[in-house]
Each structure stands twice: as C-alpha cells, then as structure tokens.
Amino acid sequence: MSQRLKIAIQKSGRLTEKSLELLERCGLEFTRSKDELFCFGQNMPVDLLLVRDDDIPEFLREGICDLGLVGDNVAEENRLKAQAKGQPYPLERVRGLGYGRCRLSIAVKRDFDYQSIEQLAGRHIATSYPYLLQDFLDRNGVRAGIAYLSGSVEIAPRLGTAEAICDLVSSGATLAANNLKEAEVIYRSEAALYQRALEDQPEKQALLQRLLVRLDAVLKVAESKYVMLHAPKAQLDAICRILPAAEAPTILPLGGKEDTVAVHTLCRETVLWEHLEQLQAAGASAILVLPVEKMLG
Ligand code: ATP
Ligand code: ZN
C-alpha cells in the first residue's frame, strides 16, 4: 500500500488559497497546477487531492485520502447524516485552522417580525444543510418543513418556496442584498484538519505527527507580529503596556543615545494601526511591524 499521505483540499473556492498557503508554510512543496486534481509532493511523501469541499468527508471515510482541510460545517453535516443513517463516521477533528470562519444561520424576510424560534413552527426553511438544521430544530422542539436546495438558497423566499432559509453567513451582505435578516445562529464554523483512522499505518501516522509539529508552529504565530521600536527610557513602561499581548520584551541600548532604548517583542494578537498611533503618541519612534513565519518551542 502507498505510504504517501494524501491530503484533500477544496479545488476551487473560499478555502483553496488559504489551505495551499498553510501547507506551503508547513514546508510542503507541490508540483502546482490548480486545475489538476492531483498535486505531487516534491519534498515529502505528501500529495494533494483537489476536490469539491462537500466530497472531502466521504473521501476520508472511504480511505481515498488520509487528511482533509474542510469547513466544520461540512464535516458536521456529514457526521449527522451518517448518524441518522446508522453508518459509522470514523473521522477525527485534529486542529482548527483559524480561517474560513462563518456561521450557519436561519434568516427570515426583513419584514418578518421575528421574536423567537417557535415562530418557525409549521413553516418551510430552505437549506443545503438539512441535517444540521434538523438537529437544531429537534433540540429546540420545533417542527418545521425542510426544503433541500443544493445552492442559491437565498432566493427561495423570493420565489415563494420557503418562508425562511438556513445558510452560511460571514458578513451578512448576501442576506441584506436578498432582503433577508439573520434570525438564529445555529452553528459556528472554521476550516479544520480532519483525519481518518491511521492506527494500522504507522508510517503515515509518523508523517502526520511530523506535519502536526510544523502546523502547530505555524498556527501558534498566525496572529503574531514581531515589533521593534525606539522608546525614550522614561516612557518605556507606558509603551510596553500598549503593545497587544506582548511577550517579555528585549530591551537593547542604542549606540550614542543615552535616553533611548530599542524594544523588540513578539505580539500575540493582531497589531492594529490604532496601536501604532498610540505608541507614537506615547513617544515611540522607528516602529517596525514584522511578519512571523513560524515558531518552534
Ligand atoms: P465547492 O465547489 O467546493 O462545493 P462551495 O460553493 O460549496 O464550493 P465555497 O462557497 O467556496 O464552497 O465555501 C467553502 C467553505 O468556505 C464553506 O463550506 C464554509 O466552510 C466556508 N465559508 C466561509 N465563509 C463563507 C460564506 N460567507 N459563505 C459560504 N461559505 C463560507
Ligand atoms: Zn461545496
């Protein structure tokens, strides 16, 4: 049996670019041509399968691939579907990846005076996520009709086929453009790494462990920036307090300047323009914000 790890990612869509970027930051190099279904790993025995995101859980179940980068929404819908059909679902969520964030929400027409979930009883809700929706309705003791649509769910209320929809939302702009408003968030999602059981394949298991060390090193600094600046000694404490989630800073003397020091530190949270403005107002100068690629240990 091939001992090359196969990772499925979305072929073309919202997750594609970030997924490729993440794997490349983990040091994987592929013969890259996005329109191909398969990318061969050049420097490690790890290959890519480029597929529709909806197919990834099934590919993992069937052992066509070993790992998959897919939205929790898709994985959870498939888990609930397998559960409803009494089928096994031997997938494990290994890591959340921090991108592809969205929520699965029920939305109603803007002029619907929405107060509570009970108002949806007996109505029709159009969705591509019938199992997640049914699960939510069951947990809330509401009986409603579910109309399955594979896409363009947001136009269903206008066509009169449903009074509400249940679809993915990130900014809410699509809802607004279709005269809809968000009524209930039923599930929050991000892209995540899923694996199939690999216990019987120690070589692949070992390869996965190696990849996870790298992945953690990359994820650990996902929001982090390395900040360097010059600070008047008198303002040092005030300046260090402004830096968001800063590690213990390195303070260095500056040649020829008695009253100024250089401050170097890792900020664990997003460094905003507002932070830089505050730093400058507090007396900092020569402020540099540098990207951090990876951090081990
Ligand atoms: P495919 O052809 O692969 O089936 P798709 O149309 O199902 O593509 P995309 O719209 O690219 O998929 O979304 C892929 C995933 O991106 C979603 O399943 C979800 O996890 C995530 N996502 C993040 N924000 C949004 C959003 N606003 N709308 C839809 N999906 C989002
Ligand atoms: Zn899809």
Q: How many CB atoms neighbour CB 145 within 10 A?
A: 12
Within the chain, where are the H helices?
16-25, 56-62, 72-84, 130-139, 156-159, 173-177, 202-220, 236-242, 273-281
**Domain identity same for 67 and 210:** yes
Query: Model confidence over 255-267: pLDDT tens digits?
Result: 999 999 999 999 9
Query: Is the C-beta atom of 102 inside 6 A of ligand 1?
Result: yes
Question: SS3 of 123, please?
Answer: coil
Q: How far apart are alpha carbons 73 and 170 in whole angstroms? A: 13
Collect all residues with Cβ–Cβ distance below 8 Å to 118 and sequence separation of at least 6. 142
Domain limits at 244?
A: 224-291
**Domain identity same for 74 and 212:** yes
CATH number, residue 44: 3.40.190.10
Domain boundary residue, one of 172, 199, 221: 221
- Which pLDDT score is estimated for 35? 66
Report the DSSP beta bridge partners of residue 109: 180
Which ligand minimizes its atom distance to the CA of 192? 1
- Which pLDDT score is estimated for 246? 86
- Which pLDDT score is estimated for 1? 58
- Which pLDDT score is estimated for 33? 65
**Domain identity same for 134 and 157:** yes
Is residue 2 over pLDDT 80?
no
Is 296 inside any structural domain? no
Is residue 108 over pLDDT 90?
yes
**Domain identity same for 271 and 209:** no
Ligand 1 centroid – CA 213 distance (Å): 28
Band of pLDDT at residue 109, cut at 50, 70 and 90: very high
Is 94 inside any structural domain? yes
Is 279 inside any structural domain? yes
Band of pLDDT at residue 3, cut at 50, 70 and 90: confident
**Domain identity same for 130 and 273:** no
What's the total number of domains in the chain? 3
- Which pLDDT score is estimated for 222? 87
How far CA 213 is from CA of 11, 66, 131, 147, 295, in Å, comes to 25, 17, 34, 43, 10
By most ligand atoms within 8 Å of CB, the mutation choice from 99, 102, 169 for ligand 1 is: 102
**Domain identity same for 90 and 228:** no
Collect all residues with Cβ–Cβ distance below 8 Å to 29 and sequence separation of at least 6. 41, 42, 43
**Domain identity same for 200 and 88:** yes
Query: Model confidence over 11-36: pLDDT tens digits?
Result: 999 999 999 999 999 999 998 765 67
Ligand 1 centroid – CA 235 distance (Å): 47
Mean pLDDT of the chain: 95
Query: Model confidence over 132-191: pLDDT tens digits?
Result: 999 999 999 999 999 999 999 999 999 988 999 999 999 999 999 999 999 999 999 999
**Domain identity same for 43 and 89:** yes
**Domain identity same for 61 and 130:** no
- Which pLDDT score is estimated for 264? 97
Report the DSSP beta bridge partners of residue 253: 261
**Domain identity same for 209 and 180:** no
**Domain identity same for 87 and 212:** yes
Is 61 inside any structural domain? yes
Q: Label the pairing between strands 67-71 and 38-39.
A: unpaired
Q: Whose CA is nearest to atom 28 of ligand 1?
A: 168
Q: Which atom of ligand 1 is nearest to the CA of 151?
A: 6
